[in-house]
Amino acid sequence: MKVYFSPFSPYVRKVMMVAAETGQTVEKLDSAASPIQRDQTIVAKNPTGKVPTAILDDGSALYDSRVITRWLDAQHDGPRMYPDGDALWTVLRREAVADGLLDAALLARYETAMRPAEMLWQEWLTGQMDKIESSLDQMESEAAGFQGVDAGLIAIACALGYLDFRFPDHDWRTGRPALSGWFGDFSKRASMQDTRPD
């Protein structure tokens, strides 16, 4: 598999972590994905022009990160990142809340980093940050039960890592000791270390 890649995308990071955790190699394709200047090389394979976009050996494309990680999980014989049975629904729900946090964080990032300052919409920004806070509270309520590694926990780790990277002054750890402790331990995994956005 080849993937249009950005070292700063938390969604790409999810894909790279699942590949690493399942012992698979992904070839990184350079890209210049942007919400303003769309990379037409990506658009030719994915109409949204977003990363990650994966190219399979037959030339077909997969997108978005949740589709790509599910595909990767179907290609190996080890422990599943998306388990069978009722446990799957917990993994998918956790992945959804993590991706929801990331969606809000990206919108907040675009509002503050890409929109001209005189056009900043404070109420919009406040709404996105509120989504982040409620998602973090949900994660905290479950963190004591986080065990092992799966696609949901990878997504949560990528979301928290993105907050640390793009919102370093946002203190999400205070009042969330279980989530903070789990993230500290999970961040020691080789797949986390090898995919750091710095």
Banded model confidence at residue 33, pLDDT cuts 50, 70, 90: confident
Predicted pLDDT at 198:
75
Decide: helix, strand or coil at residue 67: helix
Residues 6+ apart with CB under 8 A from 80: 73, 150
Beta bridge partners of 35: none
Query: What tokens were used for 14?
Result: 């999810």
Query: What tokens were used for 80?
Result: 């599943």
Asked whether residue 81 is assigned to any structural domain, the reply reads no
Distance CA 143, CA 171 (A): 17
Are the C-beta atoms of residues 157 and 196 closer than 8 Å to each other?
no
* Domain extent for 118: 87-189
Asked which of 103-112, 133-142, 152-161 is least confident by mean pLDDT, the reply is 103-112
Task: Specify the number of domains making up the chain.
Answer: 2
Decide: helix, strand or coil at residue 55: strand
Are the C-beta atoms of residues 2 and 26 closer than 8 Å to each other?
yes
Region 144-152: what's the mean pLDDT?
98
Could you say which of 46, 73, 100 is where a domain stops? Answer: 73
Asked whether residue 196 is assigned to any structural domain, the reply reads no
Q: Are residues 110 and 171 in the same domain?
A: yes
pTM as predicted? 0.95
Q: Are residues 95 and 181 in the same domain?
A: yes
